[in-house]
Amino acid sequence: MVAGGAERYRAVGHRVVTGFLQSEVLDVLAALDRAQAGLGVSGSVAEIGVHHGKLFLGLHLLRKHGESSVAIDLFGDQELNIDSSGNGDLAKFRANVALWASDEGLVVHQGDSTALTTDALLGLAGSGIRFFSVDGGHTAEIVHSDMRLADATLVDGGVVVADDVFNQQWPGVATGTLRYLDDGAGLAPFAIGFNKVFFTQPEFCERYRTALEVAFGPRLRVATSHSTFAGHEVTLLLRQGAVDLLRRSELARTTYHRSYRGMVRALRSLSGRS
């Protein structure tokens, strides 16, 4: 916990830490963190697959007093990285933690996540987990195992952030996630955005969907809409490009057409054609 550290990391830090993360994920986490605080949800944070800490630091900096952060990765045991997803590096990870946060409350576990039991993880964390990022091995078997571990260690009102579920480069992630959902899942998806799917217990889904719609509804650069995923209602958070902005806003369209006509007039006059 560093005063203002989460904002500093959100504004600047994450841009210079190497890894795999769309910036808006940190805004989603901030909105869900506020919603958890309102609901009185507390617990540790954890990530399977920290690589150099790009997302992990965002979680670590959301810790409240007495909460811990568990970083799980193969790190130096890359011979066990059977699908070559990322390449955890403990020295780079620790350097990034030192630069953007501190190691207060940090617990590092080097090893294969599929060998980690629920009790062992709860022992490392010292409590149940309120934010759990699943971004380790990307095979169906590993994803299924990691989702079950996240489900079993999550506090009531905790949130699992699952990576690459709709990434065409990693079809195993979709297979493992759907297998988890078909296999007595205690969690349901409630939002999809920025290459992540967000899960919580069914009774919290509506609260968190509302929190995200309130946080992102007024933003021009993100559109919110609704859909279903595996039978569950989900909020979609969709990044908006220039063309989407023009489609959505009458004012943007008018301004665009006015400046376009102005530019054509200026070019005509320059070329002596008007």
Ligand X SMILES: C[S@@+](CC[C@H](N)C(=O)[O-])C[C@H]1O[C@@H](n2cnc3c(N)ncnc32)[C@H](O)[C@@H]1O
User: Minimum Å distance from CB 51 to ligand X?
Assistant: 4
C-alpha distance from residue 139 to each of 135, 185, 198 (Å): 11, 18, 19
User: Minimum Å distance from CB 202 to ligand X?
Assistant: 26
Pairing relation of β-strands 129-134 and 154-163?
parallel
Q: Which residues of 191-203 are buried (b: 16+ CB within 10 A; e: fewer)?
A: bbbbbbbbbbbee
Q: Which is nearer to ligand X, 149 or 205 (CB)?
A: 149
Pairing relation of β-strands 196-200 and 188-193?
antiparallel
Site for ligand X in 35-74 (CB under 6 A): 48-51, 54-55, 72-74
Window contacting ligand X (CB under 6 A); options: 107-115, 123-131, 192-200, 203-211: 107-115
| Site residue total, ligand X (CB under 6 A) | 24
Binding of ligand X by 21 (CB under 6 A): yes
Q: Rounded to an integer, what distance in angstroms lies between the CA atom of residue 254 and that of residue 232?
A: 39
Binding of ligand X by 112 (CB under 6 A): yes
Binding of ligand X by 109 (CB under 6 A): no
Q: Which long-range contacts (CB under 8 A, 24 or more apart) does 221-230 make?
A: 221/245, 222/24, 222/193, 223/248, 227/192, 229/189, 229/192, 229/197, 230/178, 230/181, 230/189
Q: Which is nearer to ligand X, 170 or 204 (CB)?
A: 170
Helix ranges (H only) for the chain are 5-8, 14-16, 24-39, 54-60, 90-100, 118-125, 140-153, 171-182, 202-216, 242-248, 250-270
User: Minimum Å distance from CB 130 to ligand X?
Assistant: 18
Binding of ligand X by 87 (CB under 6 A): yes
User: Minimum Å distance from CB 231 to ligand X?
Assistant: 28
User: Minimum Å distance from CB 210 to ligand X?
Assistant: 27
Binding of ligand X by 24 (CB under 6 A): no
Binding of ligand X by 14 (CB under 6 A): no
Binding of ligand X by 189 (CB under 6 A): no
Q: Which residues of 147-173 are buried (b: 16+ CB within 10 A; e: fewer)?
A: bbbbbebbbebbbbbbbbbeeeebebb
Among 86, 128, 158, 193, binds ligand X (CB under 6 A): 86
Among 136, 158, 172, 176, binds ligand X (CB under 6 A): 136
* Residues at the interface with ligand X (CB under 6 A): 19-21, 48-51, 54-55, 72-74, 81, 85-88, 112-114, 135-137, 142
